[in-house]
Structure 1
Amino acid sequence: MSTPVIIPALGESISSGILSSWKVEEGSYVQIDQPIYDLETDKITQEGLAEAAGIISFQAKEGDEVEIGSTVALIDESADEPKTPAVRKSNDKSEVVEAVAEAPPSQSTEAPEPVEASESLEPSTAEKTEIKHSPAVRKLLEETGIDPKDIEGTGKDGRITKADVLAASKPSSTPAASSPPPQPTPVLATPVKSEGRSTHRPMSPIRKRIAARLVEAQQTAAILSTFNEVDLSAVMALRKSHQDSFVKQNGVKLGFMSFFVKAVVHALKAVPALNVRIEGEELVENHYYDVSVAVGTEKGLVVPVLRDCDQSSFAEIEREILGYAEKARSGTITLEDMQGGCFTITNGGIYGSMLSTPILNPPQSGILGMHSIQERPVVRNGEIVIRPMMYLALSYDHRVVDGKEAVTFLV
């Protein structure tokens, strides 16, 4: 009997993804819950696990765009397990060597856990059934020193995934000297063609998806931008006078973003048109304030959501932003983290941008662009003074928001 490997649902807004890599060889024997592929969307990279043990045969190749619900492989459960288990492909050669070196003759490289008293399994059957963690998860558990009993698994039947382990590891914990930090999934090597003064290279699958989504955003909304500037003297003075006590009391620094999140909430209450989205021929007005915050990663931008910001303190907002930044860097950010959102804030100022026109994050109707803080001469009370100034850009869907409302939002 063959079990299909089906691309699972990843969220309401995702209908397909790019099969960026197979993590096993075709024709190899895979175990239940063994990582077998990586699927890239314009938002996240999702690891796929085997739901059965057997010989795997591919139905799709690396780089293919695959639909949600489609079959990408078949696992022949009737095949006998080889005496020497197949080791999945990995760029970390030390992991492969270590796995083989630790394996006793004619046994799996991973020792099975003890069988529960309520389970009446023969030793040979238990050895196959009780492999609850994939090799990658077991290795990560060893590196972090986390007891799997302390982790609530989110995989099939409560099994623990790599994302569960990384989420359970505390940022303050000190890893062992021999344990390197988790590395992001390597990008597929692409052929490069050099012709004299130019180089041609194929777009990566994830870049293709991002490009398509950006074009879609511009083609489905009437995007317009308006600008203003803000004097940050008061905010900077407040941060300077309260920073030490804020860190001591809350364990996180008081950044600029929490001020802007709170300002956006206040503005959304004053101008509710920016908290509206179009669904078909209806306007849907949100009565909550979930703010999306753009976070840059090596692969591109992700936009996690800060929930109910009107009810959150400055410290809670800063902690949540810090947590999302760490998850984005480690590649453990989830679709649930990025779903929803009423309005987006993006900060190009951290890269030195002085002014820009941000693109909407569909189906939202507004996005605020922050920029670099620069000391500029301004007139105050008839005198020229030097103040820390920032340009702000509000891009909005003109189908929903009128120009007067957009300007009012910024003022």
Structure 2
Amino acid sequence: MDPIKYIFEKPALTERIARWQMLLSEYDIVYVTQKSIKGSALAEYLAHQPISDYQPMQPEFPDEDIMALFVENKEDKNEKAWTVLFDGASNVMGHGIGAVLIFPENQYIPMTARLCFNCTNNIAEYEACAMGIRAAIESKAKILNVYRDSALVIHQLKGEWETRDTKLIPYQAYIRGLIEYFDSITFNHIPREDNQLAYALATLSSMFEVDQDAELPMIEMKSRAEPAYCHFIEEEVDGKPWYFDIKHYLKTREYPEKASENDKRALRRLAGGFMLSGDILYKRNHDLVLLRCVDAKEAELVLKEVHEGTFGTHMNGHSMARKILRAGYFWLTMENDCCTHVRKCEKCQVYADNINVPPTTLNVLSAPWPFSMWGIDVIGAIEPKAVLTPSLS
């Protein structure tokens, strides 16, 4: 980390390091490692971040008769702030921009466009900002908050940084003309994690070639908390086990009825890790050990026997799943089922290794014997050094 110390204290010198050491030897430099000064850490931090508009504190209260102070809200009650998130993307595939207009009622309007001309990443940023501001003007917004994770564009639009690129000066003048349509507009810098939706729209438009004659597809996004196979493996409403289609394919090489091409391809890829011996289906483990596939009823019996059976030690869910694999059994939701079974075990809840020590020391409330003899009640504990003995007088 310290180049001067590295040059003077390296035992084996290379050609370039030896040359530097030779050049520095004429100055009689003696290297001493500086000790850490914790007291100057705050002073160095304040020195690197000076405040231009510093004002001394005034502790005197202007009027002692004032009971409370309220900040006047400048925004009209009927006019709430709108929000615009924008981002631009430039890569080998092309250039794209994305923006998100957020209504005061938390309604989102995503917008995306592909730039069919040569531009830089900063030009794409200004194009995305202009698209979002124009959408806010069309929606008749009067108070607007603009957010972006690019510090360069935000500080240039706020006027804090100078714009030297001749290609960006017309964009900056154009956006300043759009600002006049609003009563109040602010530009704010946010981290990349808070601008993921606009970033995804910009990346999608940069990698997707738009055909002006064809109709664009509508993208629908959903959220799923569980894998797709969990919904029909656990239920088994038709009375068939979860491995029925895999077993039927390995036996007859036939696909299920009404199966699409994607389903057939997924079934072939999934069946490659299984082997059928007679009427029993086995799963090939990573160490080529064959594991017997069991259905939901057999899996429940295996869970009870391994967890609280003859040799069961009431282990946790992950350890129990590994023990079941060593025993030679397999099903797809094994680890999740083991953790759920452990949480429902009554003995694990009763005899759990809980810490029963109180967080603080307990105080004795009984009085010492000298005070109890003279009829004096003492509340609370007294340390041994503070115990007083009554005098005979």
Tell me which interval the TM-score lies in, with the shorter structure as reference length.
under 0.3
Larger Rg: 2
| Greater strand fraction, Structure 1 or Structure 2 | 1
User: Normalising to structure 2: TM-score of the pair?
Assistant: 0.21
The TM-score normalised by the length of structure 1 is 0.20
Which structure: greater helix fraction?
2
